[in-house]
Structure 1
Amino acid sequence: MSDLKGFNMDIYFREEYAKIYELNGEGKTTIFTWEGELGKVRYIFLKREINLLKEKYYDIITPYGYGGPQFFPKEHKNLRDLIFKFKEHFEDYCSKNRIISEFIRFHPLLKNHSLMEIYMNIINIGDTINLFLSSEDDIMLNMKKSSRYSIRKAVEKGMKVERDNSDKSWNNFIDLYYQTMNRNQAKEYYYFSKTYFGNIRSLLKERAQIFNVVYENKVISSMLVLVGEQFIHSHLLGIASEYRKERFGRFFDYSIALWGLRRGCKHYHLGGGYGGREDSIFKYKKSLAKNGRLSFYVGNKVHNKKVYDELSKIHEKNNPEVTGKNLDYFPLYRR
């Protein structure tokens, strides 16, 4: 793996995390680095081949989750100039490497979208929720009263939350996850394969943790939590069908938050609603952190408009059903 010294290595910026999605067939893990008198830049992404023309072209995207370039100026006053240097060098890199377009899911906690407004088109697509892990009292006080009540009731019922990375626990999590996807009629992409989960486990090791809710001597829910240096992230969740109406969710997240606090982490990022909407999932998460709302941004950039437009036209010709639809999708030739 690359030398990570000097970089903020939240889980999403680690090479082994991107490798999971390379092995999932989503592109080649690529790291662009630049260093000069102003500072240094590191940018990890997936490079995807485009198979619509005889010539080879590519586009790039951050892996599932969050990402973007990391800027480390030698002095804070140099930051803007460093970003301009990145722009100059990376645009040249994209031209030489036949990269047509670029898409970034920015990190809500790091707010790194603000660094890229001089470089690409930035779009706010919704909000996410974060629990600040300052103290046990503050975690509780930041919740709505109904959430605190729900936690007390779960404790009274005898529910427990256990961290368990055994083979049995991972297999049980995967089964519950598939149950949940079936019940929610999820999109095909979210039916991650068992190989995908195996790669998470083998590549991330202790940075991938399984937490279980145990009730009536049975695991009724499991969550895969990703662990960075300062942040922990709720990644994927599975719930047993027969227990989905039990009110244990707030107790589950609260227990994971306490684990993160004791580990020395500063934030537990819960994510947002489905597709960035303020739906029931979002409202549930908000009930856990009244002051934890964060904006989620994405960015897109066309590096070669002529070829981008040509690819989009070919894609429409080959798939007439997409014509005039999802015009805000990026890139258009992958609708």
Structure 2
Amino acid sequence: MKINELTGKNEWEEALLKASCHDFYHTWDFHQISRQNGEGDPRLFEVRAQHGGILFPLLSRPIAGSSLRDLSSVYGYPSPLTYGLINRDEVPGLWDALLSHLFQRGYVSLFSRCHPFLTPEILGEDAYSHCGRVVVISLDRSEQEQRNEYRTNHRRDISRLEQLGVVCQPESSARSLADFMANYEATMRSVEAAPYYFFPKSYYQGLLAARSFDTRVYSCTLGDRVICSGIFVFCGQFVQYHLGGTAPGFAHLAPTKLMFDTVRKDACRMGYRHFCLGGGHGSQEDSLFRFKAGFSSETCDFRVIRKVINPDEYQRLSASVAIETSYFPRYRAALH
């Protein structure tokens, strides 16, 4: 096995071309946006076998109280990718080679969220932990078939919004971004979201400026007021609902329903195959999940990878965590 550790834009993008498909979560651009947001230093690990290999995009982070580091994934659904031909009997060797390399490089643990469509099954069921489900809309069906999947009250509320004169469309102006930030942050405050879910303006500007994927701000307007906003990212076969929020005082109208319907129609017309709405808060099948499930009965498993690379150091760092928690890595539970 041969392992390459890629950090440059050109070599990162050339490596991604080896995979049959990728999403914006895998790109160098999005990892640089994450780096600028203070989430870690991007690394694309390539493990090469005889006729194929693994591409594993991750963020390298310092650990408080240690000279060592750990690895995590960007916000969203990145996951490893595979290319070429990998035999099942090569898989244990691929993992052993990667984890040995990471141990020698001074890493304690590895955590990665996984993509609902692109997570490679060849890497073995024992590599993944099931954490919930995400709602997806398959766009390769007829308009009527897609629309029939909508829950009755979703169809009714979309019609009511249209009758009220609510209009939804993509915009890229400074005003639309300002309105999005106001609506998103108001929504996050209303649900008492952790600081992790708040982003600086530069984060959104980076998404809009990226060349390797297409980011759109969709705004629902009633009169001269933007009552709902969302950021959607178009890349490869996929459209991802990234972030969104509703203006205070308008939640009862549920304008997100019209926004999702508008994005679905646009994505279908543009030839995309999958519209991913995501799951619930903390991967739970809560009211948010049920709201999204009102658009489609199709779901995909959301899985994560958890690997302890240096057991002794992991145990030492975790020893001071008194609370009962399933958070991984355990030593970061107090910061979560």
- Secondary structure of 2:210's aligned partner: helix
Q: 1:247 aligns with which of 251, 254, 261?
A: 254
Indicate the larger mover: 94-103 or 197-206: 197-206
Q: Give the CA deviation at 1:111.
A: 4.1
- Secondary structure of 2:71's aligned partner: strand
Asked whether the 8 Å contact 2:184–2:246 carries over to 1, the reply is yes
Q: Please say if 1:201 is aligned against 2:212.
A: no
Partner of 2:94: 86
Partner of 1:259: 266
Partner Cα distance (2:84, 2:137) in 1: 29
Partner Cα distance (2:48, 2:284) in 1: 39
Indicate the RMSD between aligned Cα atoms, in angstroms: 1.8
Partner Cα distance (1:171, 1:83) in 2: 47
Partner Cα distance (1:52, 1:301) in 2: 20
Deviation per CA, 1:139-183, whole angstroms, max 9, x where unpaired? Answer: 102222222222222222222111101111112111211121222
Partner Cα distance (1:248, 1:118) in 2: 39
Asked whether the 8 Å contact 2:29–2:212 carries over to 1, the reply is no
- Secondary structure of 2:199's aligned partner: coil
Figure out how many residues of one structure are paired with residues of the other and give that number. Answer: 319
- Secondary structure of 2:252's aligned partner: coil
Q: Please say if 1:97 is aligned against 2:105.
A: yes
Partner of 1:283: 290
Asked whether the 8 Å contact 2:27–2:212 carries over to 1, the reply is no
Q: Give the CA deviation at 1:58.
A: 1.3
Q: 1:305 aligns with which of 311, 314, 324?
A: 311
Counting only pairs closer than 5 Å after superposition, residues 3-82 of structure 1 correspond to structure 2 as 3=14, 4-7=16-19, 8-53=21-66, 56-74=67-85, 78-82=86-90
Q: 1:130 aligns with which of 130, 136, 141?
A: 136
Letter in 1 for 2:68: Y
Structure 1 residue runs without a partner (length 5+): 317-321
- TM-score normalised by length of structure 1: 0.89
Indicate the larger mover: 22-31 or 34-43: 34-43
Q: Give the CA deviation at 1:119.
A: 6.1
Counting only pairs closer than 5 Å after superposition, residues 224-235 of structure 1 correspond to structure 2 as 224-235=231-242
Q: Give the CA deviation at 1:288.
A: 0.6
Letter in 2 for 1:333: Y
Letter in 1 for 2:76: G
Partner Cα distance (2:311, 2:183) in 1: 44
Partner Cα distance (1:22, 1:156) in 2: 44
- Secondary structure of 1:126's aligned partner: strand
Letter in 2 for 1:129: V
Asked whether the 8 Å contact 2:91–2:122 carries over to 1, the reply is yes
Letter in 2 for 1:243: F
Partner of 1:330: 328
- Secondary structure of 1:242's aligned partner: coil
Question: Percent same amino acid among aligned pairs?
Answer: 25
Letter in 2 for 1:69: P
Could you say if the C-alpha distance between residues 174 and 324 of structure 1 is closer, same or farther in structure 2, counting changes exceeding 3 Å?
closer
Could you say if the C-alpha distance between residues 93 and 251 of structure 1 is closer, same or farther in structure 2, counting changes exceeding 3 Å?
same
Letter in 1 for 2:231: L
Could you say if the C-alpha distance between residues 79 and 259 of structure 1 is closer, same or farther in structure 2, counting changes exceeding 3 Å?
farther
Partner of 1:319: none
- TM-score normalised by length of structure 2: 0.89
Asked whether the 8 Å contact 1:100–1:303 carries over to 2, the reply is yes
